[in-house]
Structure 1
Amino acid sequence: MPPHAHTGSTATQPPVPISITICGDGGCGKSSITLRLVRSQWTSEYDPTIEDSYSITRRIDGIVYHLSLTDTAGQEEYRGMWASSNLGADAFLLVYDITSRDSLDALQYFNDLIDMEAETRLDNAARARKAGLNPALSDGGGMMNGGAGSGAKTIPPIKIVAGNKCDLHESRQVPAAVGQTWARERGCGFMETSARLEVNIEETFAIIVRRVVEARKLAEMGVMDAEVGADMNSRGMTKPLSPLPSNDNEKRGPGMRGPNIDGDKVGRGQGGFWKKLRCW
């Protein structure tokens, strides 16, 4: 049985669909992160992606989720091919390479597109409320058909920034604090990852799932942008991420605890600077 196949009472409940678009500059490791999650594989060969789609299931907090992942093109010459369906995702993972400051700067292009999409969804939500509808129930694709296409979606997308290749600390150009500040200023959660050593890969996607679930619950309660302030704002911001609980029922990859960098753990450390940083 595959490691993430489960039996029991939840087998009769269909997995909850969540769509995630992975974006960032060419060569920053988007495909490596995706393949680590989907196939537990890593390759050092760089093969530019135009667009690949994957579907996987994960059990998180006792619920099974069906994740639809879209690994998008990073090279500038391909960015015009970004389909509107990519912007219809429930969440976005914005990936940069910690050894390239340019790759962090390149995320601004994608962040601007996502923020415009967030504005559109909030407008859709306002129209739904005006028509006497619950924006969460009328969300065009969010909970009912997996988020394919923007349509009339009403829940602003979740944004998480991942500083990839954190194992290459000797070549680091972007300090973790700089990446975190960039993310915070744009309303994104923040993690550092290593696809090669399988550091914070499963955790990052678990955070994405939890934040999407939280946003959906807020929408179901009728708590939208202007009312929650600290939770979301008109640019689709999320509040700081909470620490991940230690749950032995969830998958832990062989590299989950991460390498030792100057005495601090990159993954689930036992204190120190990184433990405080990685949780927001």
Structure 2
Amino acid sequence: MDDKISITICGDGGCGKSSITLRIVRSAWTHDYDPTIEDSYSVTRTINGQTYSLHLTDTAGQEEYRGMWSAANLTSDAFLLVYDITNAQSLQNLDFFAELIEMEKENRQEQGRCWPAIMVAGNKCDLQGQRQVGAAEGLEWAKSRGCGFMETSAREVVNIEETFASIVKRVVEAREQHASGMRPDFPSLINPTPHNQRASAVPETQQSAPAPNITSDAEKQRYSQSESTATSPQKKKKK
């Protein structure tokens, strides 16, 4: 079994991509905002008894840096799309990254390669008083595009490990389907299912939960609690 998994983390600047990354790598959090161009880290995690080596790439979110996105970022096994629940525009801006990933999916299909796993994280869920994006809205955006979904808080350590465990399991599932000749049943990222055909989202009454942990019902049945172990990170800065 291939135990190496590459994950590209993308989203608007200031949405907490680096904070999530540093939580998973160093179990640390910082409130200082230092715009990232690109940082790379390596960690290990044990999921369902299998140890995986994760290569994480924390990418630039600022619009002026998006042209620096390298083709290598799109070759990842998985993508984590992060938005800020206190900034409604940050969810809409995920469309930019979704379009890039959709083109990559089409390329992989033509070349007979495995599709990437995709997870959406609504970050800063500890800031309930400043919320602009309801949990139901984020879930609907993700589910209509075939993505997994969780709300996270890097500051309060909510669903950080769980998010990456889910990503690993989705990658493993995609690889198994590819090996068996099955095509993953993922909707288009840029032409999602029509509104009246979408699966129902989480009721609005659940949006006020202090630590929401939201995935699809199917995902809840598939995935069990994961076991995690961290190792020292390796960081590379590109300028």
Q: TM-score range by the shorter chain?
A: 0.7 to 0.9
CA offset digits 1:29-63 (Å, max 9, x no partner): 00000000000000000000000000000110000
Matched, 1:45 2:32: yes
| Deviation of the 1:246 alpha carbon | 3.7
Structural mapping, 1:88-127, within 5 Å: 88-125=75-112
The Cα offsets for residues 1-34 of structure 1, whole Å up to 9 and x where unpaired, read as: xxxxxxxxxxxxx970000000000000000000
**Aligned letter for 1:70?**
T
2:150 equivalent among 181, 191, 197: 191
Structure 1 position 250, deviation (Å): 4.1
The CA deviation at 1:156 is: 1.0
Instruction: Note closer, same or farther for the CA distance 1:113–1:181 as it changes in structure 2 (3 Å cut).
Output: same
TM alignment of 1:75-90, pairs within 5 A: 75-90=62-77
Alpha-carbon shift at residue 222 of structure 1 (Å): 1.2
Summarize the Cα distance change of 1:235–1:45 in structure 2 as closer, same or farther, 3 Å threshold. closer
Work out whether residues 18 and 66 of structure 1, in 8 Å CA contact, stay in contact via their aligned partners in 2.
yes
- Cα distance between partner residues in 2 of 1:84 and 1:119: 15
TM-score when normalising by structure 2: 0.80
Question: Which aligned pairs between 1:176-187 and structure 2 lie closer than 5 A?
Answer: 176-187=135-146
Q: CA–CA distance in 1 between the matches of 2:48 and 2:103?
A: 31
Q: Which residue of 2 aligns with 1:276?
A: none
How is 1:12-161 mapped onto 2 (pairs within 5 angstroms)?
Answer: 16-125=3-112, 154-161=113-120
> What's the TM-score once normalised by structure 1's chain length?
0.69
Cα shift at 1:185? 1.7
Which of 212, 215, 219 is 1:242 aligned to? 219
Aligned residue identity for 2:19? S
Deviations 1:158-194 (A, max 9, x none): 1111000000000000000000111112221110000
CA-CA distance at 1:235 after TM superposition: 5.5
SS of the residue 1:242 aligns to: helix
Check 1:190–1:95 CA distance in 2 against 1; reply closer, same or farther (3 A cut): same
Per-residue CA deviation, residues 200-255 of structure 1 (Å, 9 max, x unaligned), is 00000000000000000011111125xxxxx3356699x945224245x546xxxx
- Whether the 8 Å contact between 2:98 and 2:189 is mirrored in structure 1 is no
Q: 1:234 to 1:222 in 2, by over 3 A?
A: farther
Q: Select 1:222's aligned residue among 169, 172, 181.
A: 181
Q: Distance in 2 between matches of 1:51 and 1:208?
A: 20
Preserved CA contact (<8 Å) 2:81 2:120? yes
* Greater RCO (CA < 8 Å, at least 6 residues apart): 2
Distance 1:219 1:15, change over 3 A: closer
Instruction: Check conservation: 2:16, 2:82, Cα contact below 8 A.
Output: yes
Tell me, yes or no, if the aligned pair for 2:145 and 2:188 is still in contact at 8 Å: no
Is the contact between residue 25 and residue 41 of structure 2 (CA under 8 Å) also seen in structure 1?
A: yes
CA contact (8 A) 1:55 1:68 kept: yes
Contact 2:119–2:149 (CA under 8 A) maintained in structure 1: yes
Give CA-to-partner distance per residue, 1:45-82, whole Å, 9 cap, x none: 00000000000001100000000000000000000000
- What is the aligned residue count? 204
CA contact (8 A) 1:119 1:235 kept: no
The equivalent residue for 1:211 is 170
Q: Letter of the 2:116 partner, please give it.
A: P
RMSD: 2.1
Contact 2:145–2:187 (Cα < 8 Å) also in 1: no
The answer to whether the Cα contact below 8 Å between 1:166 and 1:193 also exists between their aligned partners in 2 is yes
| Aligned counterparts of 2:188 and 2:178: Cα–Cα separation in 1 | 14
Distance 1:15 1:196 in 2: 32
